[in-house]
Amino acid sequence: MITTDILIIGAGPTGLFTVFEAGLLKLKCHLIDALPQPGGQCSEIYPKKPIYDIPAYPEILAGDLTHKLIEQTKQFEPGFTLGERAETIDKQDDGTFIVTTNKGTKHHAKIVAIAGGLGSFEPRKPKLDNITKFEDNGVEYIIKEPELYRDKNVVIAGGGDSALDWSIFLSDVAKSVTLVHRRNEFRGALDSVEKVQELKDAGKINLVTPAEIKGILGEDKVTGVLIEKKGEEPFELPTDHFIPLFGLSPKLGPIANWGLEIEKNAIKVNNALDYQTNIPGIYAIGDVNTYPGKLKLILCGFHEATLMCQSAYKRIFPDKKYVMKYTTVGGVDGFDGTRKEAPKAVVKAIE
């Protein structure tokens, strides 16, 4: 049983910043995320896309923002349960909660903060009759271990950043990379499109457009795909792996069955006070929540996380009075023994 003060469901930017704000209050955090690494959409979907509305950063790449948030949390030593989805929640007689994942990992927490962004992500699968048969047997929707493709033949389908970026990356890993897209135009970062063009001209990427995958070949494992190029007869292409990268579809998932008040696939909260749900002790912050005037912006998630942590502290320690101090005045004491503080003023006479 993993025990913590605040259990955060979702390790995207809002969830990660919650660790910092909770740490200032001496509250320990543990995070659950269905993705294999922290960062949420910023890491999984658009790590190389710039964000322009983060305070003090005229421009910052989504992946770099995630990296800086993770660095900011390290002082407070958060725990992580990654690659697992929060499945069930049971409220205990003392008001605490036990959350169990789809893999059976149990977490005991005084407070639950749902920061799941748009929900748990499920891959958008192409409509191919036999695709489920080959999942984990040559069909992968998310690339977790690039070395799996070392010296293998790979077919990637898609026209966005993920398809472009992974085609570029795997061109130095795989024996061959074929990128298939139903249009000639790609919707992605300009430098990525230009890099794919360079690799195509150099013979390191085989580009097939406009075309679609119409079937998967093989018995127990993928041995090839059937490609139909517009205006031409379908042809078979031998391959070891087929990777359809058509994005991830957000779903609220099992959380929708926790008895929370839901409105249009989002969790209703009390924004007048602390972003608490209709179940005391369970909060929802970031894109996963809804209230009058809600804006789905990262900076709004940061604000919600800050107020939620103050409320969580009062709930855990009802008899204690917390006096907020600016970090420039009080400094920051990490759970790892480190301390960050502004230099002390020096008292010295001027002669």
Q: In this structure, are strands 176-180 and 153-157 parallel, antiparallel, or unpaired?
A: parallel
CA 312 from centroid of its chain's CA atoms = 24
Contact (Cβ atoms closer than 8 angstroms) between residue 86 and residue 32: yes
Q: Phi and psi of 127, rounded to 5°?
A: -85, 80
Give the chain's end-to-end CA distance (angstroms, integer): 64
pLDDT level of residue 348 (50, 70, 90 thresholds): confident
- Output the CA–CA distances (angstroms, integers) from residue 88 to 60, 216, 258, in the order listed: 36, 36, 7
CA 55 from centroid of its chain's CA atoms = 21
Q: What is the DSSP letter of 276?
A: B
Model confidence at 339: pLDDT above 80: yes
Place of tokens 């149990």: 106
Dump pLDDT digits (tens) for 267-293.
Answer: 999 988 899 999 999 999 999 999 999
Average pLDDT estimate for 38-50: 78
Element (H, E) at 310: helix 298-316
pLDDT level of residue 65 (50, 70, 90 thresholds): very high
Average pLDDT estimate for 43-60: 84
Model confidence at 323: pLDDT above 70: yes
Dump pLDDT digits (tens) for 105-132.
Answer: 999 999 999 998 876 667 889 999 889 9
pLDDT, mean over the chain:
92
Long-range contacts of 141-147 (CB under 8 A, 24+ apart): 141/243, 141/244, 141/245, 142/36, 142/44, 143/243, 144/36, 146/170, 146/173, 147/173
Strand segments, DSSP code E, in 190-265 are 206-208, 211-217, 224-229, 235-238, 241-244, 248-251, 262-263
Average pLDDT estimate for 200-210: 96
Element (H, E) at 14: helix 13-24
User: How many other C-beta atoms lie within 10 A of the C-beta of residue 73?
Assistant: 22
Place of tokens 């912006």: 297
Q: What is the pLDDT of residue 120?
A: 63
Long-range contacts of 48-54 (CB under 8 A, 24+ apart): 48/161, 48/165, 48/189, 48/192, 49/161, 49/189, 51/298, 53/297, 53/298, 53/299, 54/298, 54/299
pLDDT level of residue 59 (50, 70, 90 thresholds): very high
What is the percentage of the chain residues whose pLDDT exceeds 90? 73
44, 6, 2: which is closest to 23 by C-alpha? 6
Does residue 187 or residue 284 have the better pLDDT? 284
Contact (Cβ atoms closer than 8 angstroms) between residue 146 and residue 169: yes
Place of tokens 């002082």: 75
Does residue 250 or residue 103 have the better pLDDT? 103
